[in-house]
A and B are shown apart, each in its own frame.
Chain A
Amino acid sequence: MSAEPLTTFESSLDELGVELVQTTSDQFESTLVPLLDAPAVGTPLPFENVSLPDAVEGDPTMQELETAETGVTAAGYGIADYGSVVIQGGPDGEEPVSLYADEHVAVIAGSDVLTDMDTTFDRLAEDIRSDTGQAIIATGPSATADMGELVKGAHGPMEVTVVLLEDR
């Protein structure tokens, strides 16, 4: 990928108050661990030679899900223009894990950062036609202004961190 979408991605995330941490697949574990608030839950990561550290419960019970401080999942794409990550939920539980913990850590391959919404929808359409049942374009933490002022963390996470694998 060119450096350009990545720069845009970084500044879009910055505007949203989302931290972008760049690493490589062999440094992944040592990068991730300090980012975790315990207890942490997660779902299997689809990147070659990259897996969840032991500190992360990979098959959480409901109880563990509810009390989790951090939830780690992969993200299918990033959208540079918006600072969004696309969470493609399936039987492994990306949806509940990215939704219930206070902080969501989204792990994304550098080559999956797309420039804009147009490109993203072309990819999403392909995925949906080949049976991806669920894709959430998530931009920053969940939020509400319904209680009279803006509050981060409504029904979903109040904090989001993106870990980007430069070599994937």
Chain B
Amino acid sequence: MSVDDRQRKAEHIRHLLETEGNNVHENTQVFNDGRYESTADLDDYDGLKDEARAIKEDTIERLPELLDRVTEAVETNGGTVYLADDAADANRYITEVAGGRDVVKSKSMTSEEIEVNESLEASGADVWETDLAEFVLQVADEAPSHIVAPAIHKSREEIADLFNAHFDPEEPLETAEELTRFAREYLGEKIMDAEVGMTGANFVTADTGTLALVTSEGNARKCVQATDTHIAVAGVEKLVPTVEDLQPFVELIARSGTGQDITSYISLFTPPGDSPTFDEGGELGPGDDREFHLVLIDNGRMEMREDDQLRETLYCIRCSACANSCANFQHVGGHAFGGETYSGGIATGWEAGVHSQESAAEFNDLCTGCSRCVNACPVKIDIPWINTVVRDRINQEDATEFDFLVEGLTPDEEPGGMDLQKRLFGNYATLAKLGSATAPVSNWVAGIKPAQVLMERFVGIDRQRDLPEFKRETLRKWFEARGGSRVSPADADREAVLYPDAYTNHVQVERGKAAVRVLEALGVSVRIPEVASSGRAPLSQGMIATAERHSHEAYADLAEHIDAGRDVVVIEPSDLAMFASEYEKFLPEESAERLDSNSYEIMEFVYGLLENGASSEELRAGDGERVAYHSHCQQRTLGLEAHTVAVLDELGYDVLTSETECCGMAGSFGYKQEYYELSMDVGGELESQFRTEDARDRTVVASGTSCLEQLDSLLERPSQHPVQLVDPGR
């Protein structure tokens, strides 16, 4: 990205933070909190997710066959199915069916994807969005900022101003009730007059040709009942094999999205329907000769189905959980975190698949890979992975053949010409090595203004960020100098390899030393061998080939230790998450499994030792010390926050935990000039929680390196890793 591009992007984000950020934040947080609550009520949340996932896998696998089945079913019912290759094809068909008649629509993202309104309007028809949020956007002439609640960026006051200016009602509208009533009446007339009703479909059953629509307002029901031609528009991926297959989705979709147990209406239409409709004179008359057209849209989806990496995107039921659970999304909304049509974490996959890689490239970097969406997704899509894959493809596309020189000089597997900023962060391990070797000079250089200005200019590191300070004496050197482990393997209860991640080895050396002392105090003999870096840094920049190479090397370095019965203990949660999740994609199943089941987060390991009889007396007791703890996003996804809290509790610390999904730093993200302000804005949430009266005097503890750096820049108090707190040598 050029300097200008970075500045343009930073400005756009700043503008949205100021204008829309607060509304989006307030609403998505309600959705997100609701999701936690509502899914907790389910007897078997995981079981339902597995079921939903399996149904979608099966559907996409058998898609051609199911398309034939649904066509047969709809035709037997008396309707028509049109399989549209692309947007233009769909629009042509729909416009022909509508034949210039006025259309009332219920909410459908797929209809936004093909921009059917423009095409219908060009044919002389009036098109009315009857979903109230879509109606607001139609009046405002704006794009959706959220896939489920499209006008989430607008406050009640803004909507009132908009309506008062546009409709000039006798009495100015003010309350949400007045606005709703006004829109209901206004649209009620349009619905009554229109002859064509257009809906989307959240699901379409192949066996019976039934559409399932998940709504709350009742407008979709009216659009179908009040008209005599029903056109339903849906992507081909919306099929499910049978009616029974709808059940897990009906139970999951609203809980995952807006945090309601269920929406007001789940409409199961098996059209053409026979409810009475309004005849020409406006009277209620028989509705038994309705026309029904199901327009199923390919528009890139069949190709996505063939694409091993993007295929998963087709399982998406567009619930919006990946938007609501995303710290960056919560702060900027879909007008920054979105492409031509879709927004939120999974939008990268959708945009790359149905529009273009360029559309995905506009916002793909906003996914920091924090993984908070992963457990929230009702169909268990690895959303960060899809973002990584597309980032990798964008990197490749940016590459040019003239950059062989740069390529020859960098230790990665990526083609020349790729974004320098990404390349710098992706090669962090090499950088750290160099940094320590040349410390303190490297730190002086990095800390002086001219160097910071240059860094900002060439690689886009924001000059307001302090760069991590490399330590001359690395953890491994210190360990060697003290003569290795003070507990010999012969006297030890267990042997462990402390994984020397690049941060702990070169920057956060003190937490590494604390970890060694803590392990030894609990009777563990420690080793710190040289191990390749996990590949997290290049992966987060979309450098998949480089990350994969790292995975093979790191595995090779660790395998022998595992065979010798040593546990692998990891301090940096993002590296542990690599072992536990992404390595599945790079290593043979058995190898990935072996590494995963033998590696532990440091405090998880301490917890296990204490549970298995090690004495907590050997560790530094809390004596009621008040602590504010921010776990790491990926650590929480792995379910490992609780272990740290449990250990601190047991040792007598008084622990308050943070409530935010992410600290905002997310590895390299917060260093980047174009995202610095967003990163600080996201961090602001954590900052205010840790500044409340109950937290103000607490010792700040965090598990991840980047969280520690973020907290250091947000608060005056220093922060440390929990293992440093319990270090008997402290």
Interface residues of A (CB under 8 A from B): 60-62, 65, 82, 84, 89-91, 93-96, 99, 117-118, 120-122, 124-125, 128-129, 132-151, 153-157
Contact = CB atoms under 8 A, between A and B. Distances in A.
Interface in B117-152: 130-133, 136, 149, 151
Nearest to A157: B218
Nearest to B220: A155
A91 B275 contact: yes
A132 B27 CA distance: 38
Contacts of B288: 91
A70 B177 CA distance: 20
B270 interface: yes
A145 B136 CA distance: 12
Interface in B188-245: 188, 192, 207-208, 210, 216-219, 221-222, 225, 242-244
B159 A96 contact: no
A94 to B, nearest CB: 7
A-B complex: 7 closest residue pairs judged by Cβ atoms: A148-B156, A156-B218, A154-B217, A125-B243, A146-B133, A146-B132, A149-B176
Given A133-B270, A156-B217, A89 B275 contact: yes
12 contacts: A65-B284, A95-B276, A117-B250, A121-B247, A129-B207, A134-B269, A137-B268, A139-B265, A139-B266, A143-B216, A148-B157, A155-B221
A125 B270 CA distance: 11
Contacts of A99: 218, 221-222, 225
Contacts of A139: 261-266
Contacts of B221: 95, 99, 136, 155-156
A93 B264 contact: no
A148 B155 CA distance: 5
Q: Which of A65, A147, A149 has the most CB of B within 10 A?
A: A147
A120 B192 CA distance: 33
Contacts of A90: 274-275
Interface stretch (B179-187, B344-352, B437-445): B179-187
A122 B275 contact: no
A139 B252 CA distance: 15
Given A143-B264, A147-B132, 17 more contacts: A62-B278, A118-B247, A124-B243, A129-B243, A133-B271, A135-B267, A136-B267, A143-B217, A144-B180, A146-B133, A146-B136, A146-B149, A147-B159, A148-B159, A154-B219, A156-B217, A157-B218
Contacts of A82: 261-262
B283 interface: yes
B38 to A, nearest CB: 12
Contacts, number: 172
B433 interface: no
Contacts of B257: none
Interface residues of B, number: 63
Contacts of A117: 247, 250-251
Contacts of B187: 155
Contacts of B667: none
Given A62-B282, A82-B261, A148-B155, A134 B208 contact: no
A61 B219 CA distance: 20
B461 interface: no
Given A133-B270, A149-B176, A151-B176, A156 B264 contact: yes
A138 B243 contact: no
Nearest to B151: A146
Given A136-B268, A148-B159, A155-B218, A91 B274 contact: yes
Contacts of A149: 156, 175-176
Contacts of A129: 207-208, 243
Nearest to A118: B247
Given A128-B243, A146-B151, A154-B184, A137 B217 contact: no
A100 B602 CA distance: 61
B268 A128 contact: yes
B219 A91 contact: no
A135 B217 CA distance: 16
